[in-house]
Structure formats: structure tokens, C-alpha cells
Structure 1
């Protein structure tokens, strides 16, 4: 299966204190979403967009936007700096 890249990366806090993950592909976003313990409405939407991409109904940029919104909702979104 091909990697579905997007740009710019979405930076999120991960489960290791002080570390940030710069996610730049759909597969990484989906894997990261599965690790989150808080799963609000934006999380659910991001997972659905990931699944729709597999079906050919969405784009990697759609996933990036949904992943970023979910990370912001959960308080995990970080700056690229």
C-alpha cells in the first residue's frame, strides 16, 4: 500500500513528555489517532475521513485538515517551531 503524503505536517504532542511528532502522511495520522484516549467529535470525523480516503472519496489534504482539527480539539496540536 502506498503512503499518502500531505504538506505541511501537523505537529502533535505524543505520549512521551516533551516530544512532538510531525505527521506528514495519512497512515501516520491514522496510527496516531488510534493512540489517543480522548475521542471527541473531531476525532471521530478524522477517523471517518481516513477511511473515506481508502475508499477513494477523500484526499490526503482532507485528512490533514481533519487530523489537525482533532488534535486541536484534544489539546494535542503543537507549533512547528
Structure 2
């Protein structure tokens, strides 16, 4: 299980306390995705990509980052970088 890193990080907020999280790899992204209650098509795509990458499938980290960012925007969890 390889962790794929991506740059720049995608910043998201926590649903519970509003904390700001900078997600810069597949493991952290998947952890965040699992906590979200709003789960649309972009969420499902991002989860599938993260799980596949962690299982060893050769996926470009840039593709995972884009999918995670889209899921964050869809779920209204995205925070612009400061």
C-alpha cells in the first residue's frame, strides 16, 4: 500500500469543528472523505481512486488530487488556499 503524495495540498474543513485540514496524500484524503456526510458522484469517484491507489493500482497522484478537490467542492468542504 503506497501513499501517493500530491502538491499543492487541497484544503478542506471539518464538519464537526470547522478545523482546516491540508490534504496532500491519498491516505489523508481518504480519511477526510470518510467523515463527510454529503456524498455525491464526485465523492464516490474520489473514494474509488484513493482506494485503488492504496491497493497498488498505478494512478497519477494529480488525478487523485483533482478528484478529491472536486469532491470537496461538491460537498461544500473545500477551502481556498491562503
- TM class by shorter-chain length? 0.7 to 0.9
Where in structure 2 are there 5+ consecutive unaligned residues? Answer: none
Corresponding pairs, count? 80
Query: Partner residue of 2:73?
Result: 72
Query: Partner residue of 1:47?
Result: 47
For normalisation by structure 2, the TM-score amounts to 0.87
**How do 1:9-24 residues align onto structure 2 when only pairs under 5 Å count?**
9-14=9-14, 15-17=16-18, 19-24=19-24
Where in structure 1 are there 5+ consecutive unaligned residues? Answer: none
- d(CA) in 2 for partners of 1:37, 1:70: 12
